[in-house]
Amino acid sequence: MRIAFLTAPEGVEQVELTEPWQAVVQAGHEPVLVSTESGEVQAFNHLDKADTFPVDEVVDEASTVSFGGLVLPGGVANPDFLRMDDKAVAFVKDFFEQGLPVAAICHAPWTLVEANVVRGRELTSWPSLQTDIRNAGGTWVDEQVKICEHGPNKLITSRKPDDLKAFCEAFLDVFAQEARR
């Protein structure tokens, strides 16, 4: 199964990209780095520049139907940039419209808020996003991992890098279940 990882050209939290990416590879799936620009994305360790990663597909040329799921890594700047890019927001929204599973960690739900897909859903995130999620019609919970089955697709969310092990296990399990449907 191909799994999209959507990031901005700069600002993704490296560990929130690399640990889920490695989990996808170890599970025998194909991770695909999708970004708003070709070339490389610049990851960060909090506020410090970290490694760069090559972009596999540009969001305006990527098709959601070629993927079995979407992973949205966090970092403060990453989802803030993505939510200001109409094509990135449309890409995320299309996963929901297609009934495909989506996983988001830390600050990544900001992009979900912008895509107008949190209404009626329970999700978690970095605590500072609580008000944004509530204002968008979602219910924020303080849990390590939250799997929401509202609507035709499943949404898997986690709060922070400390939750990565549980996050990866949860989204891989859900993605595998959905692929068997």
Q: What is the dihedral of CA 94, 96, 99, 100, to 10 degrees?
A: 80
Helix (H) or strand (E) holding 170: helix 164-179
Catalytic annotation, pick one of 23, 106, 112, 148: 106
What pLDDT is stored for residue 20 in this prediction? 98
What's the order of all strands across the beta sheet hosting 102-105?
Answer: 57-58, 30-35, 2-7, 69-72, 102-105, 155-158, 145-148
pLDDT, position 121: 97
Q: What is the pLDDT of residue 169?
A: 98
Split into its structural domains, the chain has a count of: 1
For residue 20, give the CATH number of its domain: 3.40.50.880
With H, G, I as helix, E, B as strand and everything else as coil, classify residue 179: helix
pLDDT at 176: 95
Range of the domain at 110: 2-179
Q: Is 106 a catalytic residue?
A: yes
Picking from 46, 33, 115, the residue whose alpha carbon sits closest to that of residue 76 is: 46
pLDDT of residue 181: 73
Across the chain, which has 181 residues, the per-10-residue mean pLDDT values are: 98 98 98 98 96 98 96 96 98 96 98 98 98 98 96 94 98 93 73
